[in-house]
Chain A
Amino acid sequence: MSAYGELLDRVNRVPGVRGSMVVALEDGLIVEEDLMVGVPGAAVAALVASIFRRARKSLQGADFGAAQLVQVEADEGLLFAAAPPQLGDLLLVVVAEGWVNVGLVRLEAARVVEALG
């Protein structure tokens, strides 16, 4: 299993996570994915990367610094995208149920990403 595969596998063990992907920030293409059946990875990857790029542009323009994390909360789920320096120009994207423990997802992602570095 690749290093990214291990990263996704660990994040996916958090209860409520439906899958995760490593996505190229610039073009929204999937580099590695581990998603439940039925999760439309390509479309979500493209849209989340676009949201992230927009957030980065907006907040940097306003002198708030570079966006590191974007979280989209929906009625019945959660999307989470992080751009840790260890991943370079890649995003870690997590798709989860609405009841997921967000803190746990973030903690696990941070742990694994730190191990990558």
Chain B
Amino acid sequence: MSATPQQVRQWSDEVAADPGSPAFRPLAEHYRDAGRPDAALRLVIRGLERHPNDVEAHHLLGVLYREGGELVKAFDEWDIALALDAEHFPSRRAIGLLLAERGELEAAERHLEKALQGDSFDPEIRAALEDIHVRRKDGRGRAGARGRPAPAVEEPPAAPPESLAAASAAPPAPAPAEVPAPVPAAPAAGGEFDAVEAELAALGNERGIIGAVVLDPQGFVIAGRMHVGDRDRGPEIAAVLSPSSAEAERAVRHLKMGGWKSILVETADAVVRLAPTPDGGMVAVAGRRDVPMGWVLRVAGRARDAAIRFLRASGGPA
């Protein structure tokens, strides 16, 4: 139902008298409905300065960015909304549909399954889930993306699949586990693979170093090991920590700090350093706390050099 002129006047008066008035949101929604997205955008941004934890305002800002074609910003706003309220189904739904359009099927499916809990009869969600099922069978889409936002704004979103237009009552596909079991990526070439394995093994034997692994952009281990006791913990660490790179990237983008260079995590017993590789993957190196931090960082630098040589030799970006 559209707002009455009296309501609009009242909201306008309230916002004019107090820019922090909560009336900014319905007024912005009215401007959006009236085809004035720029005015709506200005209002929401100004309102969020006063109400940074307003979940609905972050969602609305995401919708406005989405409609303006700014997909990365839209994703970020919905992501913030979900960080503030994990049960905010409209943001969950919006992120799921955006990821589905971009072909990031696993992440899309996970979000859409959760969004379905908010409205189990939502025809668009059901149609998108059915489409994901079909596309996965056909082998289309980036199935391993696991919730990572695709920041390439210059890349236009894929055309909505036909089945998105027609509602379907087909049962949704089952949700994948929160962290899919990592499977090793196929090595690019035998010689290069053996070389990087040998280099990482040598680094793993350095004083105080627990291990070093190279990860692909989906967070799967390409090479290396990280032994704790008698078990290789590399795949577990990779699977859970890998999405941190996307969060780090978004955090530093919000702060206008350029790209992220490393993530360092310290516990009482160990230190783990993650650094990006040119193909969008990462190198993770773990060391014990009983050796100086600077030493661990030096070894981590050598591990990254080895990973870059491997990527270059195997034809990847370097």
The one of B53, B264, B268 in contact with A71, judged by C-beta atoms closer than 8 angstroms, is: B264
User: Complex formed: what's the CA distance from A27 to B254 in Å?
Assistant: 19
* A 34-58 to B, binary, CB cutoff 8 A, 1 in contact else 0: 0000011111101111110011011
User: Complex formed: what's the CA distance from A55 to B251 in Å?
Assistant: 15
The residues of A that contact B70 with a CB separation of less than 8 Å are none
Q: At the interface with chain A, which of B76-84, B94-102, B138-146?
A: B76-84
Q: Is A74 an interface residue (CB 8 A)?
A: yes
CB atoms of B84 and A46 under 8 A apart:
yes
Within 8 A of A (CB), among B206-243: 226, 228-229, 233, 236-237, 240-241, 243
The one of A28, A62, A68 in contact with B236, judged by C-beta atoms closer than 8 angstroms, is: A62
Q: Is A15 an interface residue (CB 8 A)?
A: no
Q: Is A87 an interface residue (CB 8 A)?
A: no
User: Complex formed: what's the CA distance from A65 to B288 in Å?
Assistant: 11
* A 57-88 to B, binary, CB cutoff 8 A, 1 in contact else 0: 11101111111111111111111000000000
Q: At the interface with chain A, which of B16-24, B25-33, B122-130, B255-263?
A: B255-263
User: Complex formed: what's the CA distance from A95 to B233 in Å?
Assistant: 31
CB atoms of B83 and A46 under 8 A apart:
yes
Contacts A28-B84, A55-B244, A74-B259 given: A68-B254 contact, CB under 8 Å? no
Q: Chain B's interface: helix, strand, loop or mixed, by majority? A: mixed
User: Complex formed: what's the CA distance from A98 to B256 in Å?
Assistant: 12
User: Complex formed: what's the CA distance from A54 to B247 in Å?
Assistant: 10
Interface size on A, residues (CB 8 A): 41
The one of A44, A54, A55, A73 in contact with B255, judged by C-beta atoms closer than 8 angstroms, is: A44
The one of B84, B259, B267 in contact with A59, judged by C-beta atoms closer than 8 angstroms, is: B267
Q: Is A29 an interface residue (CB 8 A)?
A: yes
The residues of B that contact A41 with a CB separation of less than 8 Å are 52
User: Complex formed: what's the CA distance from A77 to B257 in Å?
Assistant: 5
Q: Is B272 an interface residue (CB 8 A)?
A: yes
* B 50-62 to A, binary, CB cutoff 8 A, 1 in contact else 0: 0011000000000
User: Complex formed: what's the CA distance from A59 to B268 in Å?
Assistant: 11
Nearest-neighbor residue (CB-CB) of B240 within chain A: A58
CB atoms of A72 and B236 under 8 A apart:
no
User: Complex formed: what's the CA distance from A74 to B266 in Å?
Assistant: 18
Nearest-neighbor residue (CB-CB) of B228 within chain A: A63
The residues of A that contact B264 with a CB separation of less than 8 Å are 69-73
Question: Interface residues, chain A, CB within 8 Å of chain B?
Answer: 27-29, 39-44, 46-51, 54-55, 57-59, 61-79, 95, 98
Q: A64-B286, A69-B265, A98-B257 are in contact. List 16 more A-B contacts (CB 8 A).
A: A43-B254, A47-B248, A51-B244, A54-B241, A55-B244, A55-B265, A61-B237, A63-B229, A67-B265, A67-B266, A71-B262, A72-B248, A72-B263, A73-B263, A73-B264, A74-B260
Sample 9 A-B pairs with CB under 8 A, ordered by A number. A43-B80, A55-B241, A62-B226, A70-B265, A72-B252, A72-B260, A74-B252, A76-B258, A79-B255
